[in-house]
Amino acid sequence: MAEIKYTDDHEYLNIEGDVATVGITKHAQEQLGDVVFVELPDVGKTVAKGDEAAVVESVKAAAEVYAPVSGEVIEANGDLEGNPGLVNEDPEGGAWFMKIKIADKSELEGMMDADGYAKFVAEQG
Amino acid sequence: MVPFAGYEMPVQYPLGVLNEHLHTRNKAGLFDVSHMGQAYLSGPDHETTAAALEALVPGEISKLGLGRMRYTMFLNDEGGILDDLMITRSIAAEDDGRLMLVVNAACKDADYAHMQAKLPDSVSLSPLEDRALLALQGPAAASVMAKWCPQAADMGFMTATSTQFNGNDCHVSRCGYTGEDGYEISVATDKAEQVAQTLLTHDDVEMIGLGARDSLRLEAGLCLYGHDIDETTSPVEADLVWSMSKRRREEGGFPGAERIQRELRDGPGRMRVGIKPEGKAPAREDTEIVDESGNKIGIVTSGGFGPSAEGPVAMGYVQSAYAAPGSGIGLMVRGEARPAHVVEMPIVPHRYYRKQK
């Protein structure tokens, strides 16, 4: 069964087995506004938790997407390069950024579930 | 909402930056630019007031016709730009000797102090603290204005008049900061909301925030003070020589004339240029510009995504050898030199109103 975790950098991880599908949350895209550019990591790249893994730019600003877990990037969502606006339309569905093969599942500990993240966003105002 | 020059201003309205930008290019956008400084400069006659102002700016003011407007800039003694501004000569002969100025919000206190210190006794400055300023911009602006201010439809570009909008006294000028046809409406603060609400009843009109204002003026190649021009840049470097008449270029008589005349003669060391990245990555302000060997040759002063250009657009300063349109340059974005080239400005063509003769 898939399990969804959230980070305080407003990324989600949809975890199936040892693969995390990573993207930015609905709240994050709302804050960014109209997304006009996405830069993705190369497939095969090894990232460490906290590394800048991707870049998302809106009409307002550029933002980094950090690797929420360490591991190898096994897939990147090429659809976003041609259609960055998908990040606004379907952030937690079709607009995933990358799939990471998780090196160490203990890094998932302490991440928020959906309720925890909703509370976190509400508290941030 | 974001703080901007001491005002709380919206980056966007519910439409969002991208759609606000496109709406302005397709129909009409309404901008609340009341933060800008409006002031009168008054003297005994036009000749005196114009001469007093010409001592501070390189623009041709003495030959400005009744009801005509001009873009110019305050210069420091080194020829650097203290602020850029719009100057209007009143259309009414009985008001002659009076010029209306519109200056940037962030500079207005310094501008007023600068003028107070330099003006002769016969010319006085009076800031208009009780006036709001609304801008209506876009191809539908003229038809929208005509509904409540029929006189506006017939105005030439860069002209101004005192008139009424739906029964409210106001000062209307045909100008703007988007590259589109449009107007600015100066109106008493207590009538401004009513004028704005009236305009917004029109289906073609939407409120536009700071975000789209920035992308519109960037595509139109227009400078944002404090970014594309500042106290270190001269009008020659900033590619604003068009705003100086031949007489003023030759005669001088404005602060920093020596540097400006030297740059006109020998060419400036650097030039403000339009930039089009070849890829899709926007290059933001402060991005380093490099040559093919990686040597720094300039800096981006404004950059982002241009919704009408359908891609990233920027402007910045490069060494003059790279200033010709078509010159290949690199933009250092996230540690990587990304290919780009210098382009003619405006990047999106202006569509100012041209009166039929």
Q: What pLDDT tens digit does each residue of chain A (125 aa) get?
A: 679 999 999 999 999 999 999 999 999 999 999 999 999 999 999 999 999 999 999 998 899 999 999 999 999 999 999 999 999 999 999 999 999 999 999 999 999 999 999 999 999 86
The distance of A8 to chain B (nearest Cα, Å) reads 23
Looking at the predicted structure, is the pLDDT value of residue B357 above 70? Answer: no
Q: For residue B1, what pLDDT band results from cuts at 50, 70 and 90? A: confident
At B137, list the tokens.
């911009």
Task: Read off the pLDDT of each residue in B138-162 and give the average, rounded to a whole number.
Answer: 97
* Rounded Cα gap, residues B241 and B80, in angstroms: 13
Task: Read off the pLDDT of each residue in B14-36 and give the average, rounded to a whole number.
Answer: 97
Torsion sign over Cα B55, B60, B63, B65: negative
pLDDT of residue B2: 83
Identify all chain A residues contacting B19, using CB atoms and an 8 Å cutoff: 34
| A47 CB burial (10 A radius; 0-12, 13-18, 19+) | buried
Instruction: Kindly indicate whether the domain formed by A3-105 is annotated with CATH number 3.90.1150.10.
Output: no
Which residues lie below 8 Å from residue B37, measured CB to CB, with a gap of 6+?
B101, B102, B103, B104, B105, B107, B108, B111, B112, B127
A39/B282 Cβ within 8 A:
no
- Average pLDDT of chain B is 97
| B284 CB burial (10 A radius; 0-12, 13-18, 19+) | middle
Identify all chain A residues contacting B21, using CB atoms and an 8 Å cutoff: 59
Looking at the predicted structure, is the pLDDT value of residue B12 above 80? Answer: yes
The amino acid present at B215, given as its one-letter code, is S
pLDDT of residue A124: 83
- Percent above pLDDT 90 for chain B: 96
At B114, list the tokens.
């600068």
Identify all chain A residues contacting B20, using CB atoms and an 8 Å cutoff: none
H-type helices in A5-44, by residue range?
A: 26-32
State whether residue A51 is helix, strand or coil. Answer: coil
At B357, list the tokens.
């003769």
Looking at the predicted structure, is the pLDDT value of residue B326 above 80? Answer: yes
* A–B interface: beta-carbon pairs under 8 A: 42
Task: Read off the pLDDT of each residue in B130-146 and give the average, rounded to a whole number.
Answer: 98
B334/A37 Cβ within 8 A:
no
Spatial contact of B215 and B299, defined as CB atoms under 8 Å apart: no
3-state secondary structure A57-87: EECCCEEEEECCCCEEEEEECCHHHHCCCHH
Identify all chain B residues contacting A62, using CB atoms and an 8 Å cutoff: 282, 284
pLDDT of residue B333: 96
Burial letters A77-105, b for 16+ CB under 10 A, else e: beebeeebebbbeebbeebbbbbbbbbee
B18/A57 Cβ within 8 A:
no
Q: Which CA distances in Å does A51 have to A65, A71, B282?
A: 8, 11, 21
* Rounded Cα gap, residues B65 and B89, in angstroms: 7
pLDDT of residue A1: 62
Neighbours of B176 (CB within 10 A): 26
The amino acid present at B9, given as its one-letter code, is M
Q: How far is CA B305 from the centre of its chain?
A: 20
B277 and chain A in contact, CB less than 8 A? no
A66 and chain B in contact, CB less than 8 A? no
Which residues lie below 8 Å from residue B80, measured CB to CB, with a gap of 6+?
B230, B231, B232, B233, B234, B256
Find, in chain B, the residue whose alpha carbon is nearest to that of A40: B281
The owner of tokens 């379907």 is A90
pLDDT of residue A36: 96
- Across-strand partners of A82? none
* Rounded Cα gap, residues B127 and B38, in angstroms: 6
* Rounded Cα gap, residues B288 and B286, in angstroms: 6
B306 and chain A in contact, CB less than 8 A? no
B305/A33 Cβ within 8 A:
no
Q: Which of A52-61, A69-78, B248-257, B265-274 has the lowest mean pLDDT?
A: A52-61
Q: Which CA distances in Å does B273 have to A35, B176, B313?
A: 26, 21, 11
Q: Which domains does chain B have, with CATH numbers?
A: 2-218 (3.30.1360.120), 268-343 (2.40.30.110)
pLDDT of residue A61: 86
B211 and chain A in contact, CB less than 8 A? yes
3-state secondary structure B99-160: EEEEECHHHHHHHHHHHHHHCCCCCEEEECCCEEEEEEECCCHHHHHHHHCHHHHHCCCCEE
Best mutation site among A60, A66, A83 for testing chain B: the one with the most B CBs within 10 Å?
A60
Spatial contact of B116 and B258, defined as CB atoms under 8 Å apart: no
Identify all chain A residues contacting B281, using CB atoms and an 8 Å cutoff: 37, 39, 55, 57
Best mutation site among A31, A32, A35, A36 for testing chain B: the one with the most B CBs within 10 Å?
A36
Q: Which CA distances in Å does B235 have to A117, B101, B127, B249?
A: 52, 19, 26, 11
Task: Read off the pLDDT of each residue in B124-137 and give the average, rounded to a whole number.
Answer: 97
